[in-house]
Structures are given as C-alpha cells and as structure tokens.
Structure 1
C-alpha cells in the first residue's frame, strides 16, 4: 500500500462515513491489484485476454483456460501467437466459440496497430474505454476491469458488476440489489476515487454480516 493510496482511503472515509466504517473494519485493499498469480507478466494484451476468458465464468475456470492458452502459445500470449494459433485451436482448449472469436478479434486489432493496447496510458478514461469496446467481445465491464487492473485508474466504478451491486445493497441495508443505473448514481458521490470505493465494496463481501 503506497502513501498516496492511504491518503485516498482517508479522503474517501471523510467523504462517506459508511465507507469509512468499512475501511476501519475490513482494511484497505490495493485497488489495482490484479489477482492473476503473475500469469500475464505485465502484458496488457495478456491481461485483456484473461478478462475476456473470464467473462461470466469462475476465476478458477478462467485461469484454467488461460493457462491452456499459454501452454498452446508457448509463452505469455501475444497478438501474433494468438493469431498463429487460430480460432479453432483456441476453441479446442475448452472455451466457447464466441470467446475464441473474441480473442482472435482482439489479436487482429492489436497486431494491425488499430489498438495500441500496450500504450494506452495517455488516453483519458472515456477514450480508453471507447477504444476497447470498439473491439467485438470487449464490453464495458471488461474495459473497466482493464482500466482498473492494467492502467491503474483511480476513478472507475463498474456498476454492471453484480458483486459490486450486492455490496451496495448490503452497505445501504436495501431490500433489493440496486439497478446498474442506481449503482452508477451512487458511485457519483465517490468521485474522483470510485475505484477505491469499488475495491472497498468488493472487500466487504467477504466480511462478517455485521460489517
């Protein structure tokens, strides 16, 4: 945890006493940590490939598929190695045909230079998201996860994430899980530190009920 991250959490606690209570009871997670076990080796292309493979499946299965992809390409996947592998061979690793197609599409965009995925640091959050969602197979949620974990952006709130909305329900004592629109609206109150708020909410899901 860096000093700037500690200060960000302190600021968030001052902004919202309820989040401050979670911070006191649950600790302060690194909001940008990518729990990939070192698999992607700091490669943005590999990171996005893992995000794509992980769509709507468990982390365990996503890692299994990614590890098979790594074995098939011989090293950390690159655009060229994924293209060389081909869609049918990717599908044969156990993923769906659509996800195999998404990986090929991502690789084509990167290999052609249309998407300079390793050098997106100079783009604004909105521009980075728009560049990513222009690739078939990358939705807003995947793009937002990429901005958090690969670009380390401080003000991203993935309101479409079901776990995040479950945490909001718990925080607010609501009877129902809030809609995506309602979650977005709540998140506005935590600007410009919404990534930290999201990290805190995700952490709270593993805390005791009284938190």
Structure 2
C-alpha cells in the first residue's frame, strides 16, 4: 500500500531524532545496508501506542506472523469497544479474549499485564530514564514477558537506538538471507555481524525486517 501524503507527514514527524544520522553511518559501515536503506528509505520506525498498548501487542504477536497478529489484535480491539487499556482488558472475560483469537496462555499473560498496570505495580513513569537492561529486568517480572517482548518495547515504545533482538526469528532470517546466502545463522554469528551496526542496531534491525516484509512492523 502506498502511503498517502498525510501518512508520510505523520511518519516524518514521528521519526526518531537519530534516524537520519543512523542511516548515513550504517550505509558507510555496511555494504548490505548501503543497498537496503535507499530501497526502503521512505519509512521510519514508528510507534503509535502507549506503554500498555505496545506491550499488549507484543504479547499478541508472540510466535505468530505479523499478519496473524494484526488480525487477532483487530478482534481484541473490537471486543474492548475500540479502546484497549488495562481497565477494558480486565473487564473482558477469558472466553471473550479467547474468542478474539488469543490462546489460553496469552489470555493469562495479557490479563496479568493489565493487572500490573491497573494496580500501579510498575515504574512506567521512570522507564524513559532507566537504562535498557533495567527496563528489561522490570518487564520480565510480568508473566509472558521475556527478553524478546521487552526488547520490542524498547524499540517500539522507548525508541532506543541500539537494541539487537537476537531471539527474533525475523531478524535471524533476514541476516541469513542478506549475509549468509540463506544458510542458518546462530545467535553468536548474528551478534558478531551486528557489532558493525553499533550504536544503531535498532535501525539496522528495522531495515532487516523490511527486507523480508516491506510493510513496516509496528507495536
């Protein structure tokens, strides 16, 4: 789908302040990104949700495709009367959430997430000032949120510039296709390769995702 003029404007306004600098430096440092960034250069990392929405979407998206996750999210949105927040999620029964396409385990996870926010047990107002690993530790205390989900939050909500989600299947697939002629890639190999992307590993990861799915990922 070609973005409208309004959508392009929103994307530009939402672009992280480091994005252009990161793209310039990555194109100088990496031969593959030198080709990929101009190819998909009209897009940016965009976040449209608050902290709860970002984490809830990440839970929904665990271990399923982007398209499948969007379909489930749309049904959860309808079930929650077009407004997803902790109170509305807690007001839905487990049966209603399963009816939207969530597995029994994901129902437990998203309700536990909602309860953490609703009860004020999280330091959400401090996350902007906390370092990456401290945020990951706090988020990992919530059921169903492991390192991958916490890293998605750091990328898509806090927009941290140097996150490398090595547990992300899409990232490993893209590295395999772009750098290793489709041969399987270990997390160790991916980490070594991505050392060349620092301090902009988030931006490089975003372009890796774009290389296998031209529709930008959002949470």
**TM-score normalised by the shorter chain: which range applies?**
0.7 to 0.9
Shift in Å, 1:20: 1.9
Alignment counterpart, residue 78 of structure 2, candidates 71, 78, 85: 71
Shift in Å, 1:119: 5.1
Q: What TM-score comes out, normalization by structure 2 length?
A: 0.80
Unmatched segments (≥5 aa) in structure 2 = 1-11, 215-219
Structure 1 window deviating more from structure 2 (192-201 vs 111-120): it is: 111-120
Shift in Å, 1:97: 0.5
Unmatched segments (≥5 aa) in structure 1 = 35-40
In the alignment, the residues of structure 1 paired with residue 30 and residue 204 of structure 2 have an alpha-carbon distance, to the nearest angstrom, of 10
The residue matched to 2:111 in structure 1 has which SS?
A: helix
Name the counterpart of 1:97.
Answer: 104
Q: How does 1:140-155 map to 2 (within 5 A)?
A: 140-155=147-162
Conserved? CA contact 1:86–1:104, under 8 Å: no
Name the counterpart of 1:37.
Answer: none
Closer/same/farther in 2, CA of residues 76 and 120 from structure 1, 3 Å limit: farther
1:81-118, Cα deviation, whole Å (9 max, x unpaired): 21222334322333110000001111111112122446
Conserved? CA contact 1:106–1:135, under 8 Å: yes
Which has more helix, going by share of residues?
Answer: 2
Alignment counterpart, residue 46 of structure 2, candidates 17, 25, 33: 33
Alignment counterpart, residue 179 of structure 1, candidates 186, 193, 196: 186
1:140-185, Cα deviation, whole Å (9 max, x unpaired): 1111111111111111111222221122122223452211232123
What is the count of residue pairs matched by the alignment? 200
In the alignment, the residues of structure 2 paired with residue 71 and residue 206 of structure 1 have an alpha-carbon distance, to the nearest angstrom, of 26
Verify: 1:58 aligned to 2:58, yes or no: no
- Runs of 4+ aligned structure 1 residues displaced above 6 Å come to none
Conserved? CA contact 1:29–1:203, under 8 Å: no
